[in-house]
């Protein structure tokens, strides 16, 4: 299918003048238009009353100035001046400017000068506007490139820190210390992944649905060898400022990691569901991470658990102005549910 470009008056006017910087082309073209205006004036002469010597020359000057720029407008106005004075301003056949003829040609000169100046000024303004728009586009492109470069460098730096921690952990002989360093390495890498997923390729922030779904899928893919299904249930989606989105994603990541660690063996199949629910008429959110695994061990008390991951999740939840809890699944169901409740921060909004 052939695409026809838009031909709006503004778009057409921006392309003018056609040969503004090439007087050797613009001047002959403008003279040709003026000669055509003269022929039209001759054809209309029997039908016009006396007193209209410039009736076709004014449009010729305007068209020449618009199409061919300052040089074209000047050339057309000069030729029109000579032709109008010679053929249609008494005394005919003369270029004398003495008496009434001089006043008549002064009027012609005033009008064409105003026309040429107005058209030239408009074209210069449009040219300056186009230059400024291009500069703004270049600045926007540069800003986008810098933003992506910053995101890339932050992610790389976090990944480097995580790798250094992992290397240090491998050199430790104490199992408890090695596990602590390994966990720190995984969390640093996780922060780097979250940082990379907060914004899309255009630099726009992603919504909760766009962040949490791939995040949980990535955690499952890297930490579990079985066939686990990830279900994201978010009937209403929200855009949350990055400073709140990062701790939110970390809490959900900890909940998903705990579900994998305590609910399934490495090759088990099952389902992890992430549910986003609006509460209090949309003033707060409840995010649930549910699994259908083994469930909590007997006598497990999340509030007194020594798990560093749970302590981190609760601390981050308090920072969001909410709370985090872990509980058994609903009666009659297997598994565990981790629940985060927090008020929607200022600047967040619901999106469709």
Mean pLDDT over residues 191-218, rounded?
A: 75
pLDDT tens digits, 101-156: 889 899 999 999 999 998 888 888 888 888 888 888 877 777 766 666 666 676 66
Contact assessment for residue 211 and residue 239, using Cβ atoms and an 8 Å cutoff: no
Contact assessment for residue 92 and residue 44, using Cβ atoms and an 8 Å cutoff: no
Contact assessment for residue 162 and residue 185, using Cβ atoms and an 8 Å cutoff: yes
Task: Write out the E strands in the chain.
Answer: 228-233, 237-239, 270-279, 284-291, 323-328, 336-343, 349-351
DSSP code per residue over 47-66? GS-SS-TTTTHHHHHHHHHH
Whole-structure pTM value: 0.56
pLDDT tens digits, 258-298: 888 888 887 788 888 999 988 877 688 899 999 888 887 77
First-to-last alpha carbon distance for the chain, in angstroms, is 32
pLDDT tens digits, 233-254: 888 788 878 778 888 888 988 8
The torsion of the CA quartet 203, 221, 182, 260, rounded to 10 degrees, works out to: 120
């Amino acid at each position: 299918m052939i695409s026809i470009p838009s031909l709006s008056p503004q778009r057409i006017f921006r392309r003018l003048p056609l040969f503004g910087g090439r007087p050797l082309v613009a001047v002959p073209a403008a003279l040709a238009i003026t000669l055509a205006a003269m022929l039209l004036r001759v054809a209309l002469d029997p039908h016009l009353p006396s007193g209209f010597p410039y009736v076709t020359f004014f449009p010729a000057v305007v068209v020449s100035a618009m199409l061919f720029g300052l040089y074209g407008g000047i050339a057309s106005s000069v030729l029109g001046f000579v032709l109008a004075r010679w053929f249609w301003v008494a005394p005919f056949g003369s270029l004398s400017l003495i008496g009434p003829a001089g006043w008549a040609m002064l009027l012609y000169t005033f009008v064409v000068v105003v026309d040429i100046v107005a058209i030239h000024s408009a074209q210069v303004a449009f040219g300056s506007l186009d230059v400024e728009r291009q500069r703004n586009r270049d600045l926007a492109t540069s800003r986008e490139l810098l933003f992506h470069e910053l995101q890339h460098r932050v992610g790389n730096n976090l990944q480097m820190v995580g790798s250094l921690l992992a290397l240090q952990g491998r050199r430790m002989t104490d199992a408890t210390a090695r596990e602590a360093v390994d966990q720190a390495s995984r969390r640093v890498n996780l922060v780097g992944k979250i940082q990379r997923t907060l914004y899309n390729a255009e630099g726009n922030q992603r919504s909760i649905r766009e962040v949490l779904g791939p995040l949980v899928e990535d955690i499952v893919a890297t930490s579990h060898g079985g066939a686990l299904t990830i279900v994201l249930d978010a009937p209403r989606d929200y855009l949350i400022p990055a400073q709140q989105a990062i701790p939110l994603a970390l809490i959900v990541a900890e909940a998903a990691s705990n579900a994998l660690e305590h609910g399934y063996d490495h090759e088990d199949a099952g389902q992890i569901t992430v549910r986003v629910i609006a509460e209090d008429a949309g003033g707060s959110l409840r995010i649930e991470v549910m699994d259908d695994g083994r469930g909590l061990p007997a006598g497990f008390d999340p509030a007194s658990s020594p798990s560093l991951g749970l302590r981190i999740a609760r601390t981050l939840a308090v920072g969001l102005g909410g709370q985090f809890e872990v509980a058994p699944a609903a009666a009659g169901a297997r598994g565990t549910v981790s629940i985060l409740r927090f008020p929607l921060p200022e600047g967040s909004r619901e999106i469709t």
